[in-house]
Amino acid sequence: MSQSKVFQDAKSALADLKSDMTLMSGGFGLCGIAENCIDAIADMDVKNLTVISNNIGNSGRGLVKVLIKDKIKKAYCSYVGGNPDLEERMLAGQIEVELVPQGTFAERIRAAGMGIRAFYTPTGYGTLIAEGKEVKEFDRPCILETALHADFAIIKAQKGDTYGNLWFKETARNFSPLMAMAAKTTVVEVEELVELGDIPAEDVHLPGVFVQRIFQGSNYKNDIEFLKLEGQQ
Amino acid sequence: MSWDKNMMADKVIGLFTDHCSVNLGIGLPTLIAERIPSSKGIMIHSENGVLGVSGRPTKETVSPTLINAGKETIAVGDGASYFDSSLSFGMIRGGHIDFCVLGGMQADAKGNLANWMIPGHKVTGMGGAMDLVNGAKTVIIMMTHFSKNGDPKILDVCDLPLTGKEVVDIIVTDLGMFKPHDGKIEIIELAEGIDKTDLKMDTILK
């Protein structure tokens, strides 16, 4: 490591993100999204981004902030329900959306990070998803799916050390470790930036070798989409 | 008299074996989580990365980073674990999840399921449904028997885009429990007072 991975903030860590690049964005719904990075990109002078994210934000929040500034040319995602801003642009043909079954989506990203070029899966066989894809019969018919790479990944972790070793809280992990592996440059924002050794080696969820940049985030909203408490409904 | 939502949920729960793993889809199936008796020792999986869901949190324990695939806040019980999306879908695709329960727009006599889009009208996306129907050992569909227009949702052949081909094992509706078998629909059970003719699927009944 010739240079420190630690950056000041989202703006400095994303300074070389350019138009026409491919961007992965971690999180499931609004859970575990890189809030500081998303806000920074919404204010940057970039356009024609290809975005790979399970949900392109929701109800005006998350990546919707980037979407409504018409910075996204193409999106890969598994779910668009509850996102009227995206559905509207999709039906009007203003954005190209490739819907990918969620498990295939995760595995295509993981494959990129693991050096696997493509894989066969039964998911999607006999559906619109299989159109134009090679089908091969194993114990049952499977379709060929290829790896998904990116120029940048923006992810959030609860804790990270200065080498980029990460620890995620509860279900906030989701796609983030996979995206960190699949992108050329992975930018991580954390709620707690800690020193080397503060995360015990056994508790590292993602080794820092997959992380290029890390910064201490701020002003987290950690929005809840659907609050359900015991005794309700 | 047709079954209400809770009775439908209980019929589905009756199919679960003790100590099995279960994935519950968005919509009607979420009711099931709150009605499973703890004595069954069932582990509930949610594909966003948790095994061991146990109902809802309190005001004191609620956490924005602890949600299910419907993005609702949840609680977990002893023995729970968290993992990334790839491992989560590996559990599904690898055949380690015993049952999945999904909602449906249409299902048919061949065991096909459609539940992710209405062309030109509504697109929600498939989320994890395509992986679940191809990976879970037993696929249960829980849905109302008729659409809002009054059309039966169990058909000879689905006309909406498919979620999975020949994947459905059991269908539970408000009128009964059914099984696609040899291109026909077998009746496993009817709700009390419901007659075959009420089902409006005469031509496909076994």
Range B109-133 average pLDDT: 93
Please tell me the predicted confidence (pLDDT) of residue A233.
Answer: 57
Q: Which residues of B are catalytic?
A: 47
Helix (H) or strand (E) holding A10: helix A10-13
The CATH number for B89's domain is: 3.40.1080.10
In a domain, B73, yes or no: no
SS3 A58: strand
Does residue B122 surpass a pLDDT of 90?
Answer: no
Please tell me the predicted confidence (pLDDT) of residue A1.
Answer: 46
Q: Determine the straight-line distance between the first and last CA of chain A, rounded to whole angstroms.
A: 53
B34-46 tens-digit pLDDT? 899 989 999 999 9
Sheet holding B50-53, edge to edge: B76-82, B50-53, B43-46, B21-24, B99-102, B138-142, B170-172, B176-181, B184-190
Average pLDDT in chain B? 95
Between positions 128 and 187 of B, the ones with CB within 8 A of A are 128-131, 134-135, 161-166
The distance of A159 to chain B (nearest Cα, Å) reads 14
Helix, strand, coil percentages, rounded to 5, for chain A: 25, 30, 45
User: Between chains, do B47 and A109 touch, taking CB under 8 Å as contact?
Assistant: no
Where b means 16+ CB within 10 Å and e means fewer, B139-168 reads bbbbbbbbeeeeeebbbeebebbbbbbebb
B9-36 tens-digit pLDDT? 999 999 999 999 999 998 889 889 889 9
| Residue numbers of the domain that contains B181 | 5-28+85-204
Round to whole Å and give the CA distance between B132 and B84.
16
Please tell me the predicted confidence (pLDDT) of residue B28.
Answer: 87
Q: Which residues of A touch B135 (CB under 8 A)?
A: 103, 122-123
In a domain, B154, yes or no: yes
User: Between chains, do A128 and B161 touch, taking CB under 8 Å as contact?
Assistant: yes
What residue ranges define each of the domains in chain A, with the CATH number in brackets? Answer: 10-116+148-216 (3.40.1080.10)
B175-206 tens-digit pLDDT? 999 999 999 999 999 999 999 999 999 899 98
Indicate the number of domains in chain B.
1
Please tell me the predicted confidence (pLDDT) of residue B120.
Answer: 81
pLDDT tens for the 233 residues of chain A, in order: 457 999 999 999 999 999 999 999 999 999 999 999 999 999 999 999 999 999 999 888 999 999 999 999 999 999 998 899 998 898 889 999 999 999 999 999 999 999 999 999 999 999 999 999 999 999 999 999 999 999 999 999 999 999 999 999 999 999 999 999 999 999 999 999 999 999 999 999 999 999 999 999 999 999 999 999 998 75
Task: Tokens for B199, please give them.
Answer: 């089902």
In a domain, B41, yes or no: no
User: Between chains, do B55 and A230 touch, taking CB under 8 Å as contact?
Assistant: yes
**How big is chain A, counted in residues?**
233
Q: Of the candidates B46, B57, B72, which has its C-beta nearest A230's C-beta?
A: B57
In a domain, B63, yes or no: no
In a domain, B160, yes or no: yes
Q: Determine the residue of chain A that is closest to B68 in CA distance.
A: A171
In a domain, B49, yes or no: no
Please tell me the predicted confidence (pLDDT) of residue A2.
Answer: 52
Residues contacting residue A131 through CB under 8 Å, at least 6 positions apart: none
Please tell me the predicted confidence (pLDDT) of residue B3.
Answer: 97
Round to whole Å and give the CA distance between B132 and B104.
13
Q: Of the candidates A169, A173, A224, which has its C-beta nearest B73's C-beta?
A: A224
Give alpha helix (H) positions in chain B: 5-13, 30-33, 85-93, 129-135
| Residue pairs between chains A and B whose CB atoms are closer than 8 Å | 174
In a domain, B128, yes or no: yes
B4 has a chain A CB within 8 A of its CB = no
